[in-house]
Structure 1
């Protein structure tokens, strides 16, 4: 067990040390403000304060972990090996940066509480983040810093045996609408047909009637394919189904349709099933509660995980609503149009509420690539290259690679040509023991 001496044991300090030491490195950690207890400890130990006590392993602390609320923080990004860091703390520290304060800044999403420009959906965008601006969005810097910390500790305590962690994958299948043409209802079918006619989309018109006449397979119905992949994988997939009312933003299937209910139950026999929270439920706890009740009635067990429609997050309200309804995990932390690490980590972490200064029980499972972010790369070769690059970043720190693909991404649509190959690259990366 790692013992940390500090002048004050704050909620922020406890939170970030537990993430870096326990979740990333697998080391138990405890704290003390008593010098005598620190001296008597006969295993690995360090001090985290303004001045070293003696010749111990010492990391000079930034004030951030001992503050409350939000303050104007000066962030100066500097190179550190092949990565970046901030909160430089001088040469007397065993590590030249306060990685704990820097990690807290990223994990708590401190910058998302500060004034920023939102996009048309009210989302915090990648371009507003310090990671994007300083070109380290593509790296899981929190995990990289954790392993640098481990190396420094190992030099000081060569006899201590550090646990090992292995790379894993978490494929997410997002299902805003299970079918392109099936289960649309009479009015939507008529409306869609008229649109196809007036827009001269005769191929779509032909496909629509072939599907409705049961002569052709619905293009969005890729569930058999994905379930077969699930059967071949040692990692469990998670499907997120939209059950919200039809609206401008959400155009899913009728939740009362027996075929749709049967599909969700069938998928749940092989994979995890979560709720894709509708756009209007994101900020309305009553609507969210109704959707949660609906999916629990279908899967016949408490809902464990959710994703927000359009990957929209309003911190801290969005996460407080999930906590209020006892939802345990969320898979929204990521960027729709950019590949990378929104919170700087590829290790799931607990949500820290900066307003209340508490660690909450909600586990945040950040995703690192969504299918839409790969569309900006024109050729399949380029898509494979950037996908393999981000996978390798996660592998180097033995993290969890989380991808979000939609059910229609794996269809035979021209727009999504080659995406089955990309999905297979992700699956194969989890099977390789390199």
Structure 2
């Protein structure tokens, strides 16, 4: 057990020390504000403050973790060994920067609370992020910092034992439409047929007719093939189905139709099933509750997993809505248009609400890769970029998570490329 002395124990300090020390390194910690207790402690101990008490292991702090709310923070990123760092401190500290304040800044998504320029979809764009601007988006810096901190602890406390880090990979399938043509209703089918004719998409016209007469399987219904892939290699995979009301933003099938419900139940027998939030469910609690109930009525179990279809974190309202409805796992922490580490980590972490200054029970599972990035890129480029990201995650023993769409594996996309990507991610020979 590592005893940590600090003059004031704040929710931010508890949150980030628990994540770095216990969540990543696997060591138990205890806090104290009593100098007498700290001095008398004969085991491992560390002080976190403005100056050391004596010759103990000391990390000098900046003020971020003792503040409340958010404000503009001046940050100067500097190179440090094979990584970068910010919130630098004098040489008296065991590390040249406040690792805990820097980790909190990234994990809490502090920069997404302060005023920023939004993209055309009203989202926080990657171009506004510190990691993108300073060139470390492709590195899981929080995990790297934690492992460097581990070396400091090992040097000071040779008998310390850490929890081993094991690399893991898994894919998440975002399913906006189970079917391309099947069960769309007469009016929608006629409208779609007319659109294809006007755009001279005659292959799709013929496909619509074949599907209608059951001569051909629906192109988007590739779940049987994916389940065969899962069973063949004994893989862990997640499928997120959209069950929102039909609107200008959400064009999924009616959640009440039997074929769609049957697919969800079938997939749930072999993989983890969750909810792909619709456009309105990201901001509206009532819509989210409705979609949650629909999914639970289909799978007959509590909803555990969600993915945001808009890739809009909606901080903190969206996450607080998930907390209120007792959803425990979110897979939306990433950028749909850039590969990398939005929160600087490839380790799941709890959501911290800066507005309320509380650690919530919602576990965030960051993703590294989104197939939307490389829909038109050359195969060689995609494989090379994924390999680089995989190596980054392997170095720290984290989790490489990738987001795909079921359409990626249909004949209208490049299924061979995406199956090869799955094999690359899961390291299948």
2:78 maps to what in 1?
78
- Give, in angstroms, the shift of residue 414 of structure 1: 4.3
- Give, in angstroms, the shift of residue 417 of structure 1: 5.3
Cα 1:226–1:41 change in 2 (3 A) is farther
Say whether 1:67 aligns with 2:67. Answer: yes
1:91 maps to what in 2?
91
Q: What does 1:175-186 align with in structure 2 at a 5 Å threshold?
A: 175-186=175-186
1:420 maps to what in 2?
419
Q: Distance in 2 between matches of 1:177 and 1:22?
A: 40
Secondary structure of 1:48 counterpart? strand
2:167 maps to what in 1?
167
Q: What does 1:327-346 align with in structure 2 at a 5 Å threshold?
A: 327-346=327-346
Secondary structure of 1:240 counterpart? strand
Q: Distance in 2 between matches of 1:166 and 1:155?
A: 23
- Give, in angstroms, the shift of residue 34 of structure 1: 1.4
Secondary structure of 1:311 counterpart? coil
Say whether 1:383 aligns with 2:355. Answer: no
Secondary structure of 2:310 counterpart? helix
Secondary structure of 1:310 counterpart? coil
Deviation readout 1:139-186 (Å, 9 max, x if unpaired): 111001000100111111112222212011231111000111112111
- Give, in angstroms, the shift of residue 229 of structure 1: 2.3
- TM-score normalised by structure 2 residue count: 0.97
- Give, in angstroms, the shift of residue 412 of structure 1: 2.5
Q: Distance in 1 between matches of 2:131 and 2:39?
A: 39
**Structure 1 consecutive aligned stretches of length 4 or more whose deviation exceeds 4 Å:** 414-417
- TM-score normalised by structure 1 residue count: 0.96
Q: What does 1:236-385 align with in structure 2 at a 5 Å threshold?
A: 236-375=236-375, 378-385=377-384
- Give, in angstroms, the shift of residue 415 of structure 1: 5.2
Q: Distance in 2 between matches of 1:83 and 1:235?
A: 33
Cα 1:134–1:221 change in 2 (3 A) is same
Deviation readout 1:101-143 (Å, 9 max, x if unpaired): 0000001110000111111211111111000000100011100
392-401 vs 217-226, greater mean Cα deviation: 217-226
Q: Distance in 2 between matches of 1:169 and 1:270?
A: 17
Secondary structure of 2:53 counterpart? coil
Q: Distance in 2 between matches of 1:379 and 1:96?
A: 41
Q: Distance in 2 between matches of 1:244 and 1:10?
A: 40
Q: Are the counterparts in 2 of residues 241 and 273 from structure 1 also a CA contact under 8 Å? A: yes
Q: Distance in 2 between matches of 1:168 and 1:416?
A: 23
- Give, in angstroms, the shift of residue 374 of structure 1: 2.4
2:18 maps to what in 1?
18
- Give, in angstroms, the shift of residue 36 of structure 1: 2.3
410-419 vs 38-47, greater mean Cα deviation: 410-419
Q: Distance in 1 between matches of 2:386 and 2:41?
A: 45
Deviation readout 1:30-52 (Å, 9 max, x if unpaired): 11111222233333221111101
Deviation readout 1:236-290 (Å, 9 max, x if unpaired): 2111000001112211111010011111111111111111111012111111111
The CA RMSD over aligned residues, in Å, is 1.4
Secondary structure of 1:144 counterpart? helix
Q: Which runs of 5+ in 1 are unaligned?
A: none
Q: Distance in 1 between matches of 2:179 and 2:419?
A: 18
Cα 1:414–1:325 change in 2 (3 A) is closer
Say whether 1:104 aligns with 2:110. Answer: no
Q: Distance in 2 between matches of 1:257 and 1:331?
A: 27
Q: Are the counterparts in 2 of residues 233 and 427 from structure 1 also a CA contact under 8 Å? A: no
Cα 1:80–1:234 change in 2 (3 A) is farther
Say whether 1:395 aligns with 2:394. Answer: yes
- Give, in angstroms, the shift of residue 85 of structure 1: 1.0
Q: Which runs of 5+ in 2 are unaligned?
A: none
Q: Are the counterparts in 2 of residues 193 and 205 from structure 1 also a CA contact under 8 Å? A: yes
1:113 maps to what in 2?
113
